[in-house]
Amino acid sequence: MDFTVLTDHASEIGSGFLVTLWTWGGGVLAGVIAGLVIAVIQLSAGPWVRGVLRCYIEVIRATPFLVQLFLLYYGGPSLGLSLSPMTAGLVGLGIYGSVYFAEIFRTGFTSIPRGQQEAAAMLGMTAWQIIWRVQIPQMLVLILPALVNFTTILGKETPVLSIITVPELTFVLTGVGAETFAYVETLLALCVGYFLLAELCSRLGQWLERRASRYLTQGVQQRRALKPRESAA
């Protein structure tokens, strides 16, 4: 095996890596925002709107991501929606992610005791203030593991974007492989690359979880109490 093909094409591979990070990050961001909107609407809207959203969620969950991408990228133009591969990929990841994120947010919302909302309402807080100040901060901590988990899953969907010619890591490396016949080397590099990304993501998640859930276990007073000792040392 000859891994010099990788160093020979380092700059292409680097840009492919950046495209992967960009589509992944952008897809997660779009999915989280859309999912949050869906979850909030689901909790507050009437039965009709809820029914429509339920259908959207079920349909997206029942169809393969690749088919959704094809619909968006190849089917879009007949509806007057011509997207570049990159945009189609970002939007596709966002749509696909939105329904899973929405389900995560919905469980999060319903796991916060109703009494806390009632207490806020009795103090005159508006529905928006209750969502933003009471529910979301607590919910984020509860659902963080699920969010991290699905973010990793979405990352593992990004190679599919290569099929609609988004120039991300898989596209670049399979291209290099076809050009140089170094299939094994490039595929091995891909395996290692994605494996490391997934590991990194879950490590980062664990760290975030520990930080975010501190208020559940450790008092402010304790942290304050540590300060004098630090300054004394």
Residues contributing to the site for other proteins (CB under 8 A): 58-59, 61-68, 70-71, 74-75, 77-79, 113, 115-116, 118-127, 129, 133-134, 137-138, 141, 156-160, 162-163, 170, 174, 177, 183-184, 187, 190-191, 194-195, 198-199, 215-216, 218-221, 224
Cβ at position 42, least distance to other proteins in Å? 18
> With respect to other proteins, which residue has the nearer C-beta, 18 or 59?
59
Minimal distance, residue 12 CB to other proteins, in Å: 18
User: CB neighbours (10 Å) of residue 150?
Assistant: 20
Query: Does residue 107 sit in helix, strand or coil?
Result: helix
Closest CA to 76 of 84, 186, 9, 61: 84
Kindly tell me which of 33 and 125 has the beta carbon lying closer to other proteins: 125
**CB under 8 A, 24+ apart: contacts of 156-161:** 156/194, 156/198, 157/65, 157/93, 157/96, 158/20, 158/23, 158/24, 158/27, 158/89, 158/93, 159/190, 159/194, 160/65, 160/66, 160/69, 161/23, 161/69, 161/85, 161/89, 161/92, 161/93
Give the residue with the Cβ less far from other proteins, 21 or 121: 121
- CA dihedral over 197, 203, 206, 212, signed as positive or negative: negative
Cβ 68 to other proteins, closest distance in Å?
8
Take residue 26 and report the two structure tokens written for it: 């952008």
Report in angstroms how near the CB of residue 192 gets to other proteins at its nearest. Answer: 9
Q: Give the residue with the Cβ less far from other proteins, 42 or 152.
A: 152
Q: How far apart are CA 184 and CA 135, in angstroms?
A: 50
**Integer angstrom CA distances of residue 110 from 52, 139, 142, 225:** 20, 9, 11, 35
Residue 3 CB, nearest distance to other proteins (Å)?
A: 16
| Nearest-approach distance from CB 126 to other proteins, in angstroms | 7
